[in-house]
Amino acid sequence: MSLFTLEEDILKISLPQGLSQKDLIDMTNSEIDALIDSGQLYGKDIKIFGRITTGMALVLGHKLAHVCKSVSIFDPKLNDYILCIRH
């Protein structure tokens, strides 16, 4: 089971049921590290789409801030992406 699907500059998240916050954070850490190591995220304007826990957001924000040009997250109430991090 994978949390992330990368399509162009959109990082889609599928939040599985029945996992603890710790399990989700551990999965986020290992999966985002693999994507970073693959070189697919460097210098991109990444958009995060999907449900996410606060812990996952902290992990992603920290790690993506080091390699991406910017990170935005989708807000369904606004039906738009909100810029969170920019370098």
**9-63: per-residue pLDDT in tens?**
999 999 999 999 999 999 999 999 999 999 999 999 999 999 999 999 999 999 9
Q: How confident is the model at residue 87 (pLDDT cuts 50, 70, 90)?
A: confident
**Residue 80 lies in domain:** 4-86
Angle at 57 between CA 3 and CA 31, to 5 degrees: 35
In angstroms, rounded to a whole number, what is the distance separating the alpha carbons of residues 12 and 50? 6
Number of structural domains the chain divides into: 1
In angstroms, rounded to a whole number, what is the distance separating the alpha carbons of residues 19 and 45? 29
Q: For position 65, what pLDDT does the model report?
A: 94
In angstroms, rounded to a whole number, what is the distance separating the alpha carbons of residues 42 and 46? 10
